[in-house]
Amino acid sequence: MIQQVEKIWMDGKFVNWKDANIHVLTHTLHYGLGVFEGIRCYKCADGRSEVFRLKEHVDRLFESAHICQMDIPFSREEISEAILEILRVNKLEEAYIRPIVFIGDGEMGIYVKNYDIRVAIAAWAWGAYLGDEGIQRGIRVKVSSFTRQHVNISMTKSKTCGSYVNSIMAKREAILAGYDEALLLDNEGYVSEGSGENIFIVKNGVVKTTPRSSVLSGITRDSVIQILEDQGKTVKEESFTRDELYTADEAFFTGTAAEITPIREVDDRSVGNGSPGPVSKKVQEIYFRAVKGEEPRYNDWLSYL
Ligand code: PPE
């Protein structure tokens, strides 16, 4: 259950949690054309709170909306300020923030002439997405029977609501089969991404991640590439196969919700020695320090409340 807070931002105003409702004929509810973001706020070592990579998340929200031809009736500055304000108003020190841009009610049908574009921003406390144990020990993953969206079926650069039907199908299948997370392949059979995470593998010191074509351009993925490069590693953005993953020394997922979660097993085959390897652990350590303001070189990723 979501831990309720006092207020939600809707169309420019703060409303009480219980009043943040929409009509059953809301267009996005029926057809899935809406875009959203997932952002985290962390409490830093010095007691302040910061929103991690706020600018990049707001930019991606606007790009997603642009791809979906949804004209957000607020500026980037207004949305950024509302994101900071929703945390202050609810006195949240650490939270997951969910802005969503959707089409309201009033018209129905696939073609709507006058889109009523609405925006809401909610925030609530959300712990480790794949479990604290997953972060520590790594998770068990299953290659999905569902293929990741092809670039010309759904636009992968847009974080579109409807694209998540594919993710939900894959994740349910994996959980029901006794695994922690699904890994989807692209339409050519190469490794794509998790239901809500990008993936990295390490083999003989070489780090690879899926090229951006069939995956969401993850902001955590981008942070991790930067961290690895600053550690003197090169990251190849290159397609790889599932058996390359089976035989990798290390593998891990990245995402705002999932943060950095090591993968210890894929399709009942252990990855490396079956526990998080040195590269995964190092990146995890630096990432968790960075989000808490303890890595000065990455302080420009932080927007303090
Ligand atoms: N791929 C997908 C499909 C995805 O949904 C996410 C984020 C990522 C990669 C990683 O992107 P980024 O957060 O920018 O590093 N998934 C969001 C939603 C999770 C959910 O269950 O809802 C998230 O992590 O917030």
**Residue-level pLDDT at 114:** 81
Instruction: Write the pLDDT tens digit of every residue in 72-102.
Output: 999 999 999 999 999 999 999 999 999 999 9
* Banded model confidence at residue 112, pLDDT cuts 50, 70, 90: confident
Give the atom of ligand 1 at the shortest distance from the alpha carbon of 193.
1
* Banded model confidence at residue 34, pLDDT cuts 50, 70, 90: very high
CA–CA distance, 239 with 186 (Å, rounded to integer) = 10
**Is the CB–ligand 1 distance for residue 220 below 6 Å?**
yes
* Banded model confidence at residue 275, pLDDT cuts 50, 70, 90: very high
- Please check the confidence at residue 57 and state whether its pLDDT lies above 90: yes
- Ligand 1 centroid from CA 216, angstroms: 8
**Is the CB–ligand 1 distance for residue 99 below 6 Å?**
no
**Residue-level pLDDT at 48:** 96
Instruction: Write the pLDDT tens digit of every residue in 190-215.
Output: 999 999 999 999 999 999 999 988 89
CA–CA distance, 286 with 292 (Å, rounded to integer) = 10
From 2, 36, 198, mutation site for ligand 1 pocket: most ligand atoms within 8 A of C-beta: 198
From 256, 260, 283, 291, mutation site for ligand 1 pocket: most ligand atoms within 8 A of C-beta: 256
Segment 36-44 mean pLDDT: 98
**Quick check: helix, strand or coil at residue 149?**
coil
Burial class of residue 75 in the structure, from the number of CB atoms within 10 Å of its CB (0-12 exposed, 13-18 middle, 19+ buried) = exposed
CA–CA distance, 233 with 227 (Å, rounded to integer) = 9
- Please check the confidence at residue 127 and state whether its pLDDT lies above 90: no
- Ligand 1 centroid from CA 13, angstroms: 27
The two three-digit tokens of residue 195, written as one number: 């239901």
In this prediction, what percent of the chain has a pLDDT beyond 90?
A: 91
* Banded model confidence at residue 4, pLDDT cuts 50, 70, 90: very high
